[in-house]
Chains A and B, each alone.
Chain A
Amino acid sequence: QKEVEQNSGPLSVPEGAIASLNCTYSDRGSQSFFWYRQYSGKSPELIMFIYSNGDKEDGRFTAQLNKASQYVSLLIRDSQPSDSATYLCALDSGGYQKVTFGTGTKLQVIP
């Protein structure tokens, strides 16, 4: 079982819709969770991080964490074509900032 699992997609949503990206993880001891956005050929960019159960909102982005179900999600409201990218779910799995990534979900926002 992979440590961080994501559906590779592509996930296609129309412009203005809500995109929902999901991730599950195997290590119950994981404490910190991240969502990175990666455009083709570019490096990952941190867009959200969450440490506590519940929701965390930042602009059009909402991260959701359920530690009991070992589940993390990212909602993107009012999706824009510029949101088209690969979204990487990640967690901090060591005391020295070793970040473990999923394989990413490719999001396509259709104008």
Chain B
Amino acid sequence: AQSVAQPEDQVNVAEGNPLTVKCTYSVSGNPYLFWYVQYPNRGLQFLLKYITGDNLVKGSYGFEAEFNKSQTSFHLKKPSALVSDSALYFCAVRDKAGGANNLFFGTGTRLTVIP
């Protein structure tokens, strides 16, 4: 079975401070991992993905995420938060070995960056 956990429903951070949005996953094999962002009244936008290779993945808008196999985590990070980063963030996983092609999403974390 595949699943994703985002333990924090809400994350608040001051503008200019580093931010972390947590994600842990569970798959039977090796994972494909993704982060998506949803701005108000907009569809989901792809941020970054981990497929293979370097554990540190860099994506759009200055975001990055680190794949940690031993901790089964894929936390999203940014060194300096902007007010415009305030949005709903979703982590998603797919098992490389699985037959299903759909992604399994977490319940989302609402990030609020305080000016």
**Same complex origin of A and B:** no
Q: Which residues of A contact B (CB under 8 A)?
A: none
Residues of B near any A CB (own CB < 8 A): none
